[in-house]
Amino acid sequence: MATPTLSGSVLPSEPELQSFARAVAHLLTERQTRAVGSRIVRRTAGIGIQHLDHRDYVAGDEVRHIDWRQTARRRRPIVRRFESESVSDWTLLLDASSSMSVHGAAKWHAAVLAAAAMSYALLEMGHRVGLLAFGSRVIAECPLGRGQHHYATVVHALDAVRPARTGERSDLGACARRVHGANSVFAISDFFAEDEMCRDLRAMLERCTSLHALKVTHFADTTLQVSGDVDLVDVETGARLPVRADERATTSAARERAAMTHRLRSFCTRSGIAFTDWDIAHTWQQTLVRHLVQARSV
């Protein structure tokens, strides 16, 4: 399949996407059936590879599923049951607020790479994939679709979005009403907003069955490129903060960002949200594989 291109970002190549899809295939296999609107995991029997439990043999069961050790122990035919492996719906949420546009939009370009790679891998596995780009509202939407031809539709939606340089706030909650039950949600953002978007993540968690949060960070977020007395401007709100730009201010900014990340990580851990802090100096492949491995334990 020819890989679509973006005018503003460089997408992963077809070999990179295929390699990534193979590497994470076992991590994206949905083996857990969850009740709509509930976070209680209910496993069901079906066709799969993960052992679920045993039951008595009944006419029509496949002989290859007989557990001979349990059969000998119980003195009657016993078969293994396996967890059902099924496809599911995934919605990717991409932060297009103004804070994603700073530093040459490096965080935005990284987020696009991650969204494209996740879309490709999920579609390869047969899942349905949709996309919402948000700022203070939903800016762009790609409806759920299935099949590798849908990857081009996702890429087209990504190509239609650019984060505004100023004035666009982050409101993850704007996506909540577009997300329905029985859905896995993967949010990619720098989470630079009031309370690190914990309130919005909580609202999203009530509308989906599993939630992922990938925090995009850039070293320049806490590095002042000038010295002396300056006014820092919040690109989302326009608020001004007078500071003295020096080594002390840089250290203080780095400490505050670390504290924000710690609060967000702690909230996600308590809430059962798979969380990764992604310094974009690291590759998207390395980061996404690590995130999905960790997510299996959440």
> Are 105 and 64 part of one and the same domain?
no
In whole angstroms, what separates CA 214 from the centre of its chain? 6
> Are 154 and 79 part of one and the same domain?
no
35 domain residue, yes or no: no
Reported as a single tens digit per residue, the pLDDT across 93-145 is 999 999 999 999 999 999 999 999 999 999 998 899 999 999 999 999 999 99
Q: What CA–CA distance (Å, rounded) separates 69 from 182?
A: 37
37 domain residue, yes or no: no
Residue in the block written with tokens 């989302």: 236
CATH number at residue 256: 3.40.50
> Are 60 and 104 part of one and the same domain?
no
Instruction: Find the range with the poorest average confidence among 36-40, 55-59, 85-89, 195-199.
Output: 36-40
- The answer to whether 120 touches 287, Cβ cutoff 8 Å, is no
> Are 76 and 99 part of one and the same domain?
no
> Are 20 and 54 part of one and the same domain?
no
> Are 151 and 265 part of one and the same domain?
yes
> Are 154 and 291 part of one and the same domain?
yes
Q: Is the pLDDT of residue 193 over 50?
A: yes
Q: Which of 146, 59, 69, 133 is nearest to 97 (CA)?
A: 133
> Are 209 and 263 part of one and the same domain?
yes
> Are 20 and 145 part of one and the same domain?
yes
Confidence of residue 23 (pLDDT cuts 50, 70, 90): very high
Instruction: Find the range with the poorest average confidence among 8-17, 157-166, 241-250, 278-287.
Output: 241-250
188 domain residue, yes or no: yes
Greatest alpha-carbon span in the chain: 84
> Are 117 and 203 part of one and the same domain?
yes
- How many domains, in total, are found in the chain? 2
Q: What CA–CA distance (Å, rounded) separates 244 from 147?
A: 54
Q: Is the pTM of this model over 0.85?
A: no
- The answer to whether 260 touches 189, Cβ cutoff 8 Å, is no
Q: Is the pLDDT of residue 154 over 60?
A: yes
> Are 200 and 230 part of one and the same domain?
yes
Confidence of residue 210 (pLDDT cuts 50, 70, 90): very high
Q: Is the pLDDT of residue 37 over 60?
A: no
227 domain residue, yes or no: yes
4 domain residue, yes or no: no
Identify the domain containing residue 175 by its residue range. 14-30+87-295
* SS3 at position 34: strand
40 domain residue, yes or no: no
At 232 the pLDDT is 64
Encode burial over 20-33: b for 16+ CB neighbours within 10 A, e otherwise: bbeebeebbbbbbb
Reported as a single tens digit per residue, the pLDDT across 226-261 is 677 766 667 777 777 776 777 787 788 788 889 999
Q: Provide mean pLDDT across the span 139-152.
A: 94
178 domain residue, yes or no: yes
> Are 140 and 193 part of one and the same domain?
yes
